[in-house]
Amino acid sequence: MTDRFRTHSVTNQPPPLDGYDPLDCDPGLVDGLARERCEDAVPGLRPVADVVGSAEGREHARLANTHEPVLLTHDRFGNRVDEVEFHPSWHWLMAVSVRAGNTAAPWSPDAPRGAHVRRAASFYLMSQLEQGHCCPITMTYAAVPALRHDPELAARYEPGLRSGVYSPGPAEPSTKPGLLAGMSMTEKQGGSDVRSGTTRATPTTDGTYTLVGHKWFTSAPMNDLFLTLAQTGSSSDALTCFVLPRILPDGTRNGIRLQRLKDKLGNRSNASAEVEYADAVGWRLGEEGRGVRTIIDMVTMTRLDCVLGSAAIMRAALTEATHHVAHRSAFGARLADQPLMRAVLAELAAESEAATRLALRLASAADRRSLASEAALLRLALPVSKYLVCKRTAAVVAEAQECLGGNGFVEESGLPRLYRESPLNSIWEGSGNVTALDVVRAITREPECVQALLDEVDAAVGGHPALDRAARALRTELAAPDERRARRLAELAGVCLQGSLLVRHAPTAVAEVFFAGRADGLWRTAGTGTASDSASAEVLDRVTPKI
């Protein structure tokens, strides 16, 4: 072939993002750990960080989503098996996360100081790599405080949930070196209104219950045990929580039938099933009729992971975008050197750092929830953060895609997968309206939460005029909470919490860029703020991977 047909010389493309250090380019994470007195956790995060930044890890993430789980209801002989077949890359990712202690390790009696913060950092890193496998990891982490409503059930299952051993496959839980937990709450007629559930539980002579009903969403149906809700009487006041193992003590399969797998927008590597309970055997967890009160402890911790996971998706998108503009030129200049591109990415970087710092602050409150003030802060700040951070993720990923132009719309860039993933955490465990209304309920029913939140915000008042304005607007909303304005209230509270953390703990340039992109404490389109170019350049430089 002659030289004139050689059209495929590759120029002006960024190098592969393989071998980058996700700790080196995320000072918000590293500094946030130090602020929570967990700076000694950074060396222990190195194995996870190495996986997240590696070509091997990124390839496993791709393969797990390319080769989606397959439902096998029966074996070749016609026996009901209700199994889901996963690609080996799924199991590779699960093993890394379980080994890192991202499941229930923080609940161990000998867990180190700041165990939830340490685990949050590790979970945040793995969530940047691949989000689907983090669903069973989260539910396992969150199941423990709910299980502790029954000391006998906690003693039976908690050691396996805290184990650092990944042990897939159906087996009686007491025979496995490691366990995973799931949750089944919603039904097709109710969604978030779990009290409308029609699944029924009938007591038996041996102290167990048999459950009959249909659950609309059961993620990770291959887990070893599930917390579920069922009616034990004729009214919604009889809603009760139960624990259902997949394999019963006698080694037989429980009556948990997988009807079909959901065809989801994102989270494709993870299986989510519609489940039929056909006289499934369960053990009551907590008091009869107090099912929501029992399982809410699990919901609280899954909401924490929603915030962490969304902050991680923001960070993953930011990493791809900053890497691209650092190595791509257009119109005679490197993209990273063009002021408007810098302004856009700096605002995304400031928002990403604010989300990360806020998520770590929530994990710190979980560590110190024995203190009344920290428990009160967690009660209000968690739904506030879940509302704001999770809802903002899709906008951040979309802006990051634009930084890559058409390349960001192509599957190989990885950004389309992040974009499909980005709405999930905003929907899971209470969508926007549900979460915002939970904020209003916390304010009206538990007024001590308001003071805890204001104490956190007021710690930085006077540090930036935009924060002061937002705090005044927040106080106005708090004085007369109104369901119709619940979203505005949640957003203002979230921005004030983020702004307070940045003013107190981040470099001045980060706070400047963050507040320059806000109008009266609320959001504007990225790149429309008034931060100086020097501040934008400083913020962008500190988050760009060094490749």
pLDDT by residue (tens digit) across 125-139? 999 999 999 999 999
The string of pLDDT tens digits covering residues 22-70 is: 999 999 999 999 999 999 999 999 999 999 999 999 999 999 999 999 9
The more confidently predicted of residues 191 and 283 is 283
Share of the chain above pLDDT 90, in %: 90
pLDDT band at 525 (very low <50, low <70, confident <90, very high): confident
Bridge partners (DSSP) listed for residue 277: 213, 256
In angstroms, rounded to a whole number, what is the distance separating the alpha carbons of residues 136 and 149? 21
pLDDT tens digits along 356-368: 999 999 999 999 9
The pLDDT of residue 337 is 96
pLDDT at 194 over 90: no
Please state, for a pLDDT cut of 70, what percent of the chain lies above it.
97
pLDDT of residue 236: 55
Token representation of residue 354: 């604010």
pLDDT of residue 190: 73
Whether the per-residue pLDDT at 347 is higher than 70: the answer is yes
Question: pLDDT tens digits, residue range 90-103?
Answer: 999 999 999 999 99
State residue 464's pLDDT score: 94
Angle formed at CA 452 by CA 139 and CA 348, multiple of 5 degrees: 65
E strands, 232-331, are 239-245, 256-261, 272-285, 329-330
pLDDT for 259 equals: 96
What SS3 state is found at 116? helix
Mean pLDDT of 326-355: 96
Q: Residue 83 to residues 80, 89, 271: CA-CA distances in angstroms? A: 9, 17, 11
pLDDT at 429: 87
What pLDDT, on the 0 to 100 scale, is given for residue 448?
95
Residue type at 331? Answer: F
pLDDT of 434 above 60: yes
What pTM, to 2 d.p., does this model score? 0.96
Look up residue 3 and give its two tokens.
Answer: 């030289």
Cβ distance 310 to 109 under 8 Å?
Answer: no
Position 197 confidence tier, pLDDT thresholds 50, 70, 90: confident
* Range 413-420 average pLDDT: 97
| DSSP string computed for 396-462 | HHHHHHHHHGGGGGSGGGSHHHHHHHTTHHHHTTS-HHHHHHHHHHHHHH-THHHHHHHHHHHTTTT
Domains of the chain from N-terminus onward: 27-162 (no CATH), 179-290 (2.40.110.20), 293-543 (1.20.140.10)
pLDDT at 1 over 60: no
Would the pLDDT of 514 be above 70?
yes
Per-residue pLDDT, 519: 60
Closest CA to 539 of 26, 13, 16: 26
Lowest mean pLDDT among 3-12, 14-23, 370-379, 526-535: 3-12
> What is the model's pLDDT at position 7?
73
Q: What is the pLDDT of residue 158?
A: 97
pLDDT (tens digit, 9 = 90+) per residue, 204-225?
Answer: 999 999 999 999 999 899 999 9
Compute CA distances 146 → 140, 151, 187, 232, 301, whole Å: 11, 10, 20, 19, 10
pLDDT at 430 over 90: no
In this predicted structure, what is the pLDDT of residue 518?
Answer: 77
What distance in Å separates the CA atoms of residue 317 and residue 128, rounded to the nearest whole number?
9
Across residues 494-514, what is the average pLDDT? Answer: 97
pLDDT band at 530 (very low <50, low <70, confident <90, very high): confident
Across the chain, mean pLDDT equals 95
Please name which of 71, 74, 51 lies closest in space to residue 61, comparing C-alpha atoms.
Answer: 51
| Mean per-residue pLDDT, 19-24 | 97
> Cβ distance 324 to 399 under 8 Å?
no
d(CA 212, CA 215): 10
The pLDDT, as a whole number, for residue 521 is: 62
